[in-house]
A and B are shown apart, each in its own frame.
Chain A
Amino acid sequence: MFISDTIAAVATGMQASGIGIIRISGPDAFAIACNIFRAGVNKRRLDKLISHHVYYGFIFDGEIMLDEILLVPFQAPKSYTAEDTVELNCHGGVLVMKRILQLLVKQGARIAEPGEFTKRAFLNGRIDLSEAESVMDVIESKNQLALDNSLKQLTGSLYEKIRELREEILNEIAFIEAALDDPEHISLEGYPEQILTRSEKILSELHRLTDSFNNGRILKEGIKTVILGRPNVGKSSLLNSLSGNEKAIVTEIPGTTRDIIEEHILLDGLSLIVYDTAGIRKATDPVEKIGVGRARDHAMQADLILFMIDSSVPLSDNDREIFSFIEGRKAIILLNKSDLPSVVSEEDISIHNKSSFPVISVSLMNGEGLKKLSGTIREMFFSGEIGFNDELMITNERHLSLLNRAVTSVEHVRSSAENGLPEDFLSIDLMDAYDLLGMIIGEKIEDDLVDMIFSRFCVGK
């Protein structure tokens, strides 16, 4: 049972950082804050706090000073949780924040459970369930574009779309039910043909939403980018120059990278998950064989392939193999070692580059061409070449799975109509579709949802 006690937690994540914010929420938040806070250079005790003011001062555990901080009180209901809330902007050391939290517990606060602040905001009527879920997405989304989409869901364009679809489905249900109840006045003649057309239409709209998930996922998780190329062409160096740290082992011995190395990279506001792979070649070393196989698997699922060619040596069989592999996929061809004299001509490339992928000369030695590379990726993304469009996108796994289940239900409706089953059978699956879509926008109760949403939160949110 929910008890309105006072909770506290680090809101910025327990890690070393410049500053860390500790949030306190509940009826005793102000009193506790007054107890541990000394304001100004002369360290005055305060007996009351004015809402939405910033106080400079120090945290004291008895006589021991723990940190120099900024304190911001928010009086109920004008706070995130709609309760009295105090935020302490501390220095971000893990140890210091731990000690401050211990102090707060000593003062009667309780460490918040994951998602408890948002749960309180929800319980206090500040936000509704779909907003809570969007808050979750905002927290999880790793770049600006994804954030925009989460905000779009907060304001309800997904909500509107789903509502439209539900209404269409409801109309069908209502018609069938009305005809069951009043066959004298409402005739089902010709209805099977009608429902076939309508379920096709609903299916195509549902598919548009589920298809958008891929774009949504890209926004949220990043573009799955795989670097391919024969051994020692400089794949690991490319990863290192993109990410700015030496993660992959760069050596002169071909086949050094035996496993997949994964790196999250922010490139001009786009997030990329870059996979550095063992080169695709006929490996002899059994361990490397596995690596090569995995490289292939990854490349199959990639949103984008960066194919590196060493321009200082002639094209090898291995290069040609990769050319045929990337055909019909999304790729950028990188001519590496542009600092060395090139033996690969433009014609050599264009013969094999049947899908006319962009070709960029780069030198990882001096960083030449890297800017052009990021510009090209951005361009491909925004032109929609790497799945993206301006429409509403599904970014949430739960939404996707509900949509997929709704698709199955409508497909059942379609096949029932095709097989000439009596109309009352149609309403079973129509009802399922209606409910599944309702679960997305919180208009159908799904008892596990509430747990799911709030448990996904990290402590402090």
Chain B
Amino acid sequence: MKFEEYYDIVVVGAGHAGCEAALACARLGLETIIFTVSVNSIALMPCNPNIGGTSKGHLVREVDALGGEMGKNIDKTFIQSRMLNQSKGPAVHSLRAQADKAEYSKAMRQTLENEEHLTVKQAEVCRLIIENGKAAGVEIFTGGIYHAKAVILCTGTYLRARCLCGEAITYTGPNGLMAANHLSDSLREAGIELTRFKTGTPARIDKRTIDFSKMEVQHGDIPVVPFSFSTDPESVQKEQIDCYLTYTNEKTHDIIRANIDRSPMYSGVIEGTGPRYCPSIEDKVVRFSDKDRHQLFVEPEGLSTNEMYISGASSSLPEDVQLAFYRTIPGLENCKIVRNAYAIEYDCINPKQLNPTLEFKAINMLFAAGQFNGSSGYEEAAAQGIIAGINAAMKVLGREMIVIDRSEGYIGVLIDDLVTKDNFEPYRMMTSRAEYRLLLRQDNADLRLSHFGHEAGLVSDEAYQRVLDKKENIENELYRLKNTFVGNREEVNELLLSLGSKPLHSGASLAELLARPELSYEALSPIDPNRPVLKKDVMEQVEIHIRYQGYIDRQQKQVDAFKKLEKKKIPASIDYDDVKSLRLEARQKLKQFRPVSIGQASRISGVSPADISVLLVYLK
């Protein structure tokens, strides 16, 4: 006799997507159960030991602004932290922290286990239950049936996973964990189209066998900037662990080239498509054949282990080749590999089957997030996870679901790209994908997105009020700076000269002075006696706004134009066959996607601007 249980929401998978999704649902008061093949793999970091990085750091902060957990969790468990790209513009500053992997996973597991309304269950989900075209629950391998009002699929890299290390193939998930081999068939039966992607991870090397004196040391930042807007900056100033930088060389490349036919990627054993933007070392050697060296970062996996992660050297070459090429690298001459690099291949979906809410177009109450949607990366997974969680909850509660658009956040860019564009490889977030990035900075994620989290109910009134206060402080200070004038007094000009800035011949506003690149807000304090006491984050916003005003205004105009097209809705009843001058390809794509707005239609690959003009005229 099978037993049955009833929940509001079932989450399948407890990786970075599943954790955010389940926490969001439970925190919104819905009875939620989260399944994992092993409770030891909750929020597992099977690949790189860091959270954040270029554009990914933005995602973490956005998740935090929405009321997610990732930022808080890494603030608790990081062992080194840096703000990247500080020499570049504020749009590309990005926070990245090295995690103590074991601690990260443990801390998240604790958060899940202690969350009210949340049940953690170790089991392999083998069947999706669909009733009347709606997802209605899941069945687990051991027979239990879990009814639910909504199901969120966050299966990561576990579906029919297989790991490849040269000629050796094992049918396991990451880190030798059990693969989930049964759910795929059930999803296919439900009409979901599956595809296969590949990703890889480098070797882990025993710290005691590395000669760090041959590498460049990389320290963490002092002071550390926390990820979460709610973390007290004081609480994260602690001793940090070093990372190291070394390089490959021609010898390394020769070994890889000589053995390239033994890489399953090149010999054709791997059918899945790998990520272009997170290439394996053999990919780099082949694609950048003119480069005589590639960077490798050597990063600790945690405080309680000797394993060091060799970032930039993922590979699916056989063990003997791996050892040989790693040993050509300065500092790794005598290295011993603890875990081999390997590639993993898994089932995932073509995310064009999803609406921008992350609900399946064809199956009501079924949501999906994370690597299952064809993305790659912990942060991308968490970002989708929180949106899928919020939206599943909203739908169950009969409230309006949320969609963050491309001008509001990297999350919007990520999801819009996934659900509208052709994607042939694991999707990685990148700075260049965000066209309005000067407005989508990591420093203002709270100002941009907290209202979504607050409306949904994940951000408390108190926390939201803090954001509103911050906004007000920024606006007041901007107003004050623009309307406070300093004359060409001796004291003013002395200060300007001492800061390497031209003296004034007539009066100027403080804002005008601050617009000069050589002058900072802090530096002007001697000639600005009446300034209010402001928090550092407020000063930062004020400075950015004044310094880059022209650019911000122009980007805002681009956003206005974008929004205009987003607001032009396409009626659901449209018959594309009636629009004769649409090209055949465009007509097919539009029929297949059924975009909600002209804006969305314009981003579908295969729909040209000419086709959009036709639609615009037709809809007149």
**A interface, CB within 8 angstroms of B:** 1-2, 82, 119, 122-126, 128-129, 177-178, 180-182, 184-185, 412, 419-425, 428-429, 431-432, 435, 438, 442-445, 447, 449-451, 454
Contacts and interface: CB of A to CB of B under 8 A. Distances in A.
Interface in B419-443: 430-432, 435, 437-438
B479 interface: no
Nearest to A182: B277
Given A180-B88, A180-B431, A432-B554, 10 more contacts: A119-B617, A180-B430, A181-B431, A184-B294, A184-B295, A421-B89, A424-B431, A425-B89, A442-B610, A451-B620
Contact of B618 (A123, A185, A421, A431): A123
Contacts of A454: 617
Interface string B541-584: 00000001011001100100000110010000000000111000
Interface in B576-620: 579-581, 598, 602, 608-610, 612-614, 616-620
Given A123-B618, A178-B432, A181-B432, A428 B613 contact: no
Given A422-B88, A428-B551, A181 B613 contact: no
Contacts of A182: 277
Contacts of A1: 618-620
B214 interface: no
Contact of A450 (B548, B608, B613): B613
Contact of A2 (B91, B568, B617): B617
A40 B64 CA distance: 83
B581 A438 contact: no
Interface residues on B, range: 35 or more
A119 B613 CA distance: 11
Contacts of A129: 610, 613
Contacts of A431: 435, 558
B6 interface: no
Contacts of B92: 180, 422, 424
B266 interface: no
A1 B430 CA distance: 40
A431 B437 CA distance: 12
Interface of B: 54, 87-89, 91-92, 277, 288, 291, 294-295, 430-432, 435, 437-438, 517, 548, 550-551, 554-555, 558, 564-565, 568, 579-581, 598, 602, 608-610, 612-614, 616-620
Nearest to B616: A450
Contacts of B614: 122-123
A437 to B, nearest CB: 13
Nearest to B619: A1
24 contacts: A1-B618, A1-B619, A82-B580, A123-B579, A124-B581, A125-B580, A177-B431, A180-B431, A181-B432, A182-B277, A184-B294, A185-B291, A412-B550, A412-B554, A422-B92, A425-B438, A431-B558, A435-B558, A442-B613, A445-B598, A445-B609, A447-B564, A447-B598, A449-B613
A428 B620 contact: no
Given A2-B618, A442-B613, A124 B580 contact: yes
A445 B618 contact: no
**7 smallest beta-carbon distances between A and B, as pairs:** A125-B581, A177-B432, A422-B89, A422-B88, A424-B89, A450-B616, A445-B612
B610 A185 contact: no
B549 to A, nearest CB: 12
A428 B432 contact: no
B555 A445 contact: no
A288 B132 CA distance: 87
Contacts of A435: 558
B558 A445 contact: no
A428 B555 contact: yes
A122 B617 contact: yes
B602 A445 contact: yes
A425 B437 CA distance: 10
Nearest to B293: A184
Contacts of A450: 613, 616-617, 620
A180 B294 contact: no
Residue picked from A124, A438, A445, most chain B C-beta under 10 Å: A445
B129 to A, nearest CB: 41
B613 A445 contact: yes
Contacts of A442: 609-610, 613
Contacts of B581: 122-126
A444 B609 contact: yes
Contacts of B89: 421-425
B612 A123 contact: no
B430 A181 contact: yes
Contacts of A177: 431-432
Contacts of A438: 609
B277 A181 contact: yes
A300 B431 CA distance: 52
B610 A428 contact: no
